[in-house]
Chain A
């Protein structure tokens, strides 16, 4: 069950005050409304890039041959 209160949706991560100030200055006049929204955006971008390297596909060589046969039968492959 989701806690609908703000404390249920967010948690605190510490960053150096100097970095906080740097980001605060950086996001002036951008679409980011807070340091938190900027940090969230950047972290999601980086985390996704790392996760992409780990992705796997579930088919075996036999599956692949079966798929290629079907694609040929349907005319998608010569």
Chain B
């Protein structure tokens, strides 16, 4: 059986006809808050249950519990605040209890019922969430740009956020993946989060997980990333090649998650697990330095944090970093390889990146040639 949704119920805040048409009419008369793409996508994710049990943006009680205790006010595990910021100068005319329109590119996207408007302490926020206040941390830079007030309350979705035709066929919602996994007869499903093109190390940990489960849900994150990260189109094509040539038929599902990276390391690892639980995964793969950036977090900090959550409802699969061993003649990890470093070929993302940039195909110990060729078909490889 697929995992129960987080908090017990899969949220569905997508408005249906005839209610939708009526709300769209009303939305034109309401005060409008314009959203950027990332926030609009968050609204869509809330409505489709990606962030179940959240039905909207956090009110202060939930926000502070998440900040301090990594739980919602009802004790449900939750590690990353989901907040909507607002410029105090633009909030004239909005009061608690009002409905407002959340607009994207000038059109009504959703209705927000304003439950609470409150102040937040950004320094406290970043210290608790990121474990540092270093402005060079890319997640902190995102937070510091946000506005001074937060507005919380439930939403109801009226329209979809436009998506590139390249990605449309990969966009599945939790209700859909749950049905898909059931139709495939999968009872145990491992989720895999990625923002990279797959190299041999990724394939190793995915297949290690697949040994114990029925299906693998490869769920690349599509959205705002930092300059130098792989472009979303490149990641998807690379995975298509890997699955086509190296995975048994019908054991993988490749679908995207539209959201931004926060680079919050351990806390974000738990967040990613909760999201995949809502998609129906029973297991979630946690590799080295999950959701980390530079050296802000230890390579296996994300493993430790899961000990805080006996009630998470999804089983983390901690799989060590893989490397190629010339003595073992295959992909292995520290735990199963007895040989010295001289026999080991470490998989360096930087080295792969440099070779690909020069148009070279990396050695087969690092990356499948079919994957490298799929990547090299793109002119633009990285986020600028």
Contacts and interface: CB of A to CB of B under 8 A. Distances in A.
Contact of A1 (B60, B253, B311, B313): B60
Contacts of B309: 44
A58 interface: yes
Interface residues of B, number: 29
A28 interface: no
Contacts of A21: none
Contact of B183 (A41, A51, A68): A68
Residue from A71, A75, A77 whose CB has the most chain B CB atoms within 10 Å? A71
Interface in A31-78: 31, 41-42, 44-45, 47-48, 51-52, 54-59, 63-64, 67-68, 70-71, 74-77
B307 interface: yes
B73 to A, nearest CB: 8
Contacts, number: 68
A2 B8 CA distance: 24
B362 interface: no
A39 to B, nearest CB: 12
A44 B75 contact: yes
Contacts of A70: 176
A4 to B, nearest CB: 8
B310 A59 contact: no
B311 A44 contact: yes
A2 B180 contact: no
A6 to B, nearest CB: 12
A76 B172 contact: yes
A56 B178 CA distance: 12
B61 A2 contact: yes
Given A41-B310, A52-B4, A75 B169 contact: yes
Given A64-B179, A68-B179, A77-B180, A58 B310 contact: no
A1 B180 CA distance: 41
Q: Which 6 A-B pairs have the closest CB atoms?
A: A48-B311, A55-B4, A45-B310, A44-B311, A55-B8, A67-B179
6 contacts: A9-B69, A51-B8, A52-B4, A67-B175, A68-B183, A74-B172
